[in-house]
Structures are given as structure tokens and as C-alpha cells.
Structure 1
Amino acid sequence: MLSNNQRTLSFSRGRTTSANKMKILLLTLVLGVVCADQDPQSETDYSQFSGEWNTIYGAASNIEKISENGPFRAFMRTLDFNSAGDTIHFTFFVKVNGQCRKLSTVATKTAENAYICDYAGKTEIHILHLSQNTIITHFLNEDEEGLVTDIVAFFGKGEDIQQEDIEKFKEAVREKEIPDENIVNIINIDDCPSE
């Protein structure tokens, strides 16, 4: 009888250990799923993207916004990110009646890769692609009259613009349902000062 009890005790302990192992595995799985669902803290030093940038292409659902004298026919000169990426300071030129006019604005971060600023009304800015030589952004502008316009801009740094990045820009234009005929090659018409 003693040996029978020992087997029973041993068997019971074995079941309890297996059940505990299963509970631990289940708890680990649940914690893993919960942790994976959390937004990771961005460790990108955005200040590395600060510097001289040029507008290469622009596209808009309302072509007037990027036409001559349009507020978004902007000839970018510098983008300055703070290290946390909380703000972007834009310095650029627009042409008003044929004259280059230097402007600047600051956009404040509202979410991951999303910013807002007061320029030509309220403008939301979404960074779609960010690399050392290319930034592709989507601007959602609501002007003073309440007209909403989608604008996709392609900013480049230096001479190293890759065909792959141009394709990313064109894909973003298609996603925003902006017609190809509303794409403007900005760099070819940029005759404003370099600073």
C-alpha cells in the first residue's frame, strides 16, 4: 500500500508540475503577445536627417496648389529635425508674382511620422519614406476657404536620387489618387537662391 501511495503521490506531483508548466507557457505566450502589440519607442535620431534638401517633385489633387504662385510650389532649402523628431523646421522659397520669397514654418509631431503646422491653412504632414537622401511626404492641407488638397512631395539631398525612390513617390501619388498629369518636376523650375 505504501508503494501504491507513493506512485499516486508521484503521479499527482507530476500532473501538478505539468499543469504548472502549461500555465507558465500560456502566461509567457500572453505576455509576448501583449508586449508585441505595444508601439516600440522610436530610437531614431532624427537630427541626422537635418540639412540641405531640395524639392524634386510635387503632386497635388488640386493642381493650383503647386502651380505658379501656388503655396505648395515650394522650393525647399533646409529641413531641421530635433533629435527626438518632435519638430521639423522647414525653410523654403515660394514665388509670388515671379519674385522668390523666403519662408519658414515649424511642424509639431502629433503621432509617429505625423506632424501638423499652420501654413496656407492647416496642414497635416505624414512622412511616408525617410532615408539619408530621400524624404517622401504627404501633406493634407485644408486652406482658409475649407478646400482640402492632398499633396505628395519628394525631397532629395545631393545628386544621389535613386530610381527606386522615384517609384516610391509615384506609388504614393497613385495611393492618394492624384492623376499623373498633376505631377510637377519642381527641381527643373527652381531658380530661387540657394539660401
Structure 2
Amino acid sequence: CTNGTKLSHTFTCLVSIAAFFFQIEGNWRTVYLAASSVEKINEGSPLRTYFRRIECGKRCNRINLYFYIKKGAKCQQFKIVGRRSQDVYYAKYEGSTAFMLKTVNEKILLFDYFNRNRRNDVTRVAGVLAKGRQLTKDEMTEYMNFVEEMGIEDENVQRVMDTGIVATCVCNFLFCIFIINVNF
């Protein structure tokens, strides 16, 4: 889309960007995560992200990711901004992160990222976000194929949807109202 010289190519590019925008914008929930270092996505770890919302800027050159990290009984909300260069987004979270998004359908979104922490350790994470709580058999197969393509072992896949229930988190009154509005 970056080097469109013909009008038809430019039109196709704009349609592709618009379709991508409408497919990723909205409320999402993390269902599964897999990582090259499984301890990085264990409960309480900073890369175990419980996604809630994705917003796209103009032409999706900038993307806002809203998610929670659960530490013990407390949840901490994060908003990170990814800036696009070609098909990759770059953001600062737990060091430097480069990520890509792939739409499967209007209800399923795959993502993968490389995270380089402050100690220069690199972790690769592949996840699936959904509008619902379950994946169909075909969607799960597509996710597992994606994990394999990313070079992550099958045994490193964790279902995180069931451990991300916000009701288990201790929160203040305003925080709880926000969560109730998002969930219902």
C-alpha cells in the first residue's frame, strides 16, 4: 500500500486499510497466549496480557492497545501506542516490542510480537483475541498453525481467558464501574 502509483492500486490499498480498520477496532478478549519462554506468560507475568480494546488512528498508522496485567489479586490497566512502519507496529512496553496483527474473521484476531526487555532478553509471543469466549475447532486449528509458524512449542500454549476474570481483582469503585460497562 505504500508505493501505489496507479489509481486502481491506490483504491485497493484504501479499501484494504478501511477493511483492516473495521475488523480490528473494538472490544477484544485474550483467549490464548503462547511464548518462546513460557514463564513470561505465566499468571502474574508482565507479558500475560488480558486485552480489552483496540483503537486505530488514521489509516491505522497508530494503534492503541488497552489491556490489563494481573498481579496477585490486583489488576493494572495499560494503554500502549503502536506506531506502524510497513506492516509492523512498534511500541514501548516492558522494553521494546514489535508486533503484527492478522484478522481471521470478524470475531478472531491473531497477533504475534517480539519483546526485548531491559536485560536484552527476547521473547516471542503469539496470541489470539476474540469477541467471544470460545474458539471453533477451525479457529483453534488456525491458531495452533500460527503458533507453529512462529516457532513456538505447542506445550507453551496457555488458555488465559479463564484466568482473566476481572471480578477476581481488587479494584476501586470507578475502576469496577468501567469494567462492568465493558463486560455487559
For the criterion TM > 0.5, the same-fold answer is yes
Deviations 1:109-158 (A, max 9, x none): 1112x101001110000123353111101111111100111100100013
**TM-score, normalised via structure 2 length:** 0.78
CA distance in 2 between counterparts of 1:119 and 1:159 reads 26
Aligned residue type for 1:95? K
Deviation at 1:187, TM superposition (A): 0.5
Aligned residue type for 1:107? G
Distance 1:181 1:146, change over 3 A: same
Partner of 2:64: 89
- RMSD over aligned Cα, in angstroms? 2.2
Q: Secondary structure at the match of 1:41?
A: helix
Partner of 1:69: 44
Q: Secondary structure at the match of 2:166?
A: coil
**Structure number with bigger Rg:** 1
**TM-score, normalised via structure 1 length:** 0.74
Q: Out of 107, 112, 115, which is 1:133 matched to? A: 107
Matched, 1:58 2:33: yes
Aligned residue type for 1:59? A
What runs of 5+ residues in structure 2 fail to find an aligned partner?
A: 168-178
Deviation at 1:83, TM superposition (A): 4.5
Segment drifting more, 124-133 vs 142-151:
124-133
Aligned residue type for 2:32? Y
CA distance in 2 between counterparts of 1:90 and 1:130 reads 19
Whether the aligned pair in 2 keeps the contact of 1:133 and 1:161 (CA below 8 Å) is: no
Matched, 1:104 2:58: no
- Kindly report structure 1 stretches of 4+ aligned residues shifted beyond 4 Å: none
CA distance in 1 between counterparts of 2:98 and 2:165 reads 27
Partner of 2:117: 143
CA distance in 1 between counterparts of 2:138 and 2:51 reads 21
Deviations 1:137-181 (A, max 9, x none): 111111110011110010001357432222111111111221111
- Which structure has the higher relative contact order (CA within 8 Å, separation 6+)? 2
Partner of 2:13: 41
